[in-house]
Chain A
Amino acid sequence: MNKYRWNPYLVGALIGVLSIVTFALADKPIGMSTGVAQASGACAMPILGTDAVAANAYWSKKAVPKWDYGSLFVAGTFLGALISALVSKSFRFELVPEVWRRQVGPSVAKRMIAAFIGGAVLLYGARLADGCTSGHGISGTMQLAVSGWTFFLVMFATGVLTTRLLYRSTSNN
């Protein structure tokens, strides 16, 4: 295990405590993908036009492109990981992750195309389900929400299946 990593049970417990704190003090559950959808609205403005974004039912009601608690939480997550990576000297530029290189291939272009398509499918799914691994997978499941547990089980199943089809896993990698 790399030196920068803490015990996963400790980290999980601290994320649990963070949830309790955000529920109690800010009346908010932890969530991520709404903030990314808000960012998509901001990015769409120069292309589709400000009026078109403002007229869109989703961007005007569900994921308004502005700085609020949710979008700043996403920005904070980026900053937190940056601080942690710099402090622990584990920041490292990398194009193709090790497991991808060994089990799929070393091509940078293929990895980037896959990352783009994967990211697009990921966020479309998260918005359709109204949550991601944070909003459903942690915040929803901990409140015993039917939506949270359904999301967690289905996404894990299709994740395992897709991994089996896409990656060539052998016993030594």
Chain B
Amino acid sequence: MTPILAFISGDTLLWAGLFFGIVFGVLLHRGGVTDFNVIVRQFQFRDFTVLKVMFTAIVVGGVGVFILQGQELANLHIKPANMLAVIVGAGLFGIGMAVYGYCPGTGVAAIATGRMDALVGLAGMIAGGVAYALSYDWIAANVLPVADLGKKRLPELASLPEWVWYVALVLLAAVVFRVVSKVEAKASTH
């Protein structure tokens, strides 16, 4: 069912996609996460910008969407947990991200800031997309069905009320931010 606030549809939806994308691109750039150095130094635990941006987005967006959904003003969009595909895919993704130095969104945005390695990497991403499409039939038959849990959410794994999970999410973010600020304070005294 389409939630009542979701009045954007048809051709307007195309313009909305472009507009929301522009906002996202501005935010990625201003957040500093379109910078190769910031991303790689996150993997080295020397710069925590990426974790700060991501966890704040997860908490704010998560609580907001949870409230909207409770009022039937938003639908959840859960991607299936085909565990073999998600784990192998994520494993490859992390390797690729450390070598490329960007993820798909920050890579596309980094090209727009003049980073030519990001542009060459986009050509690589296109090649990766072609390779996936050409191998899709085999993957769909042999990998996607393995350990497929369906569109599972964490609250379905333990019988706790939904809001407890969101409180836990906020607490997790608070712990991450506290640890990060301690590590940063320690690093600046060296």
Residues of chain A within 8 A (CB-CB) of B126 are 36, 39-40, 43, 123
Q: How large is the interface on B (under 10, 10 to 19, 20 to 34, 35 or more residues)?
A: 35 or more
Neighbour of A26 across the interface among B20, B41, B152, CB < 8 A: B20
**Which residue of chain A is the closest to B113 with respect to CB atoms?**
A85
A88 to B30 alpha-carbon distance, docked (Å):
9
Q: What's the least CB distance linking B188 to chain A, in Å? A: 13
Neighbour of A32 across the interface among B58, B108, B116, CB < 8 A: B108
Pairwise interchain contact B105-A118, C-beta atoms closer than 8 A: no
A150 to B79 alpha-carbon distance, docked (Å):
12
Pairwise interchain contact B121-A12, C-beta atoms closer than 8 A: no
Q: What's the least CB distance linking B168 to chain A, in Å? A: 9
Pairwise interchain contact A79-B22, C-beta atoms closer than 8 A: yes
Pairwise interchain contact A18-B20, C-beta atoms closer than 8 A: yes
Neighbour of A18 across the interface among B27, B45, B58, CB < 8 A: B27
Pairwise interchain contact A136-B79, C-beta atoms closer than 8 A: yes
A residues contacting B by CB (< 8 A) are 1-2, 4-6, 8-9, 11-30, 32-33, 36-37, 39-41, 43-44, 48, 56-59, 62-63, 67-85, 88, 90-100, 111-112, 114-164, 166-167, 169, 171
Beyond the given pairs A128-B132, A144-B165, 17 more chain A to chain B contacts, judged by CB atoms under 8 angstroms and listed by A's residue number, are A11-B53, A12-B57, A16-B61, A23-B65, A24-B5, A37-B133, A57-B137, A69-B17, A70-B17, A80-B26, A80-B28, A80-B29, A114-B100, A119-B122, A125-B90, A125-B92, A160-B45
